[in-house]
């Protein structure tokens, strides 16, 4: 046992399990019937398993012969911080989704949770380096309003999509999105080089 580890009963499973501030879960010692007598079942750590592709860990808790799979970060937050506030999610800090220590957890908004995933490199879009038309997802080819939200979207494709849609709806003209996106990408690069930015 770690010297600074604190154990508290798991909410709604108080007589069965406890969870620590270091993100570990264990069963509580208990007496069970053993034939005609009783025996003591000692405490033991509960095995954790992956419950999401992002690295979140969970445990299976049993009560009255019913199993429930629960994310460990939710157990730690509920037990040490309190119930989940409305519209909030369990969020992980710099340690990532596999670190369920209390110091790495907090209740926060969905937006902040997504931004954490981008910062930690676990968001699927965060690993993408190019858009579907192979334009680099780097400045200046990023939609500024989405960058502020922690998202990356191809500026050239965004402008081209708007242009192609307007040409169709206003003039009945059908344009090739790929051709227009490439044209807008060249324009974005030329505009940026004209400002003297490498």
Q: What is the pLDDT of residues 56-67, one digit of tens each?
A: 899 999 999 999
Residue ranges of alpha helices (H) inside 61-176 are: 72-80, 110-120, 144-147, 155-171
Return the pLDDT at 5.
95
For the chain, domains (ranges, CATH) are 7-127 (3.90.75.20), 144-194 (no CATH)
Percent of the chain, pLDDT > 70?
Answer: 90
108-134 core/surface letters (b: 16 or more CB in 10 A; e: else) = beeeebbbbbbebebbeebeeeebebe
The pLDDT of residue 196 is above 90: no
The pLDDT of residue 55 is above 90: no
pLDDT digits (tens, 9 = 90+) for 28-37: 998 878 878 8
On average, the pLDDT of the chain sits at: 87
Question: Model-level pTM?
Answer: 0.61
List the one residue out of 49, 66, 46 whose CA is nearest residue 58: 49
CB proximity list for 160: less than 8 A, separation 6 or greater: 177, 180, 181, 183, 184
Question: Mean pLDDT highest for which of 86-95, 100-109, 144-153, 181-190?
Answer: 100-109
Average pLDDT over residues 43-47: 94
Percent of the chain, pLDDT > 90?
Answer: 53
């Amino acid at each position: 046992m770690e010297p600074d580890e604190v154990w508290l009963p798991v909410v709604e499973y108080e007589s069965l399990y406890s969870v620590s501030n270091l993100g570990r879960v264990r069963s509580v010692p208990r007496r069970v019937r053993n034939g005609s007598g009783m025996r003591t079942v000692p405490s033991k750590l509960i095995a954790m398993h992956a419950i999401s592709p992002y690295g979140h860990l969970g445990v299976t808790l049993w009560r009255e012969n019913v199993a429930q799979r629960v994310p460990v970060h939710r157990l730690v937050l509920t037990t040490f911080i309190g119930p989940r506030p409305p519209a909030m999610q369990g969020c992980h800090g710099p340690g990532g989704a596999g670190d369920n220590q209390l110091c790495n957890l907090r209740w926060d908004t969905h937006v902040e949770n997504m931004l954490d995933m981008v910062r930690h490199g676990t968001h699927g879009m965060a690993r993408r380096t190019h858009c579907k038309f192979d334009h680099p997802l780097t400045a200046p080819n990023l939609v500024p309003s989405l960058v502020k939200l922690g998202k990356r979207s191809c500026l050239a494709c965004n402008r081209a999509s708007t242009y192609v849609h307007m040409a169709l709806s206003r003039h009945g003209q059908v344009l090739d999105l790929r051709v227009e996106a490439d044209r807008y990408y060249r324009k974005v690069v030329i505009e940026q080089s004209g400002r003297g930015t490498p």
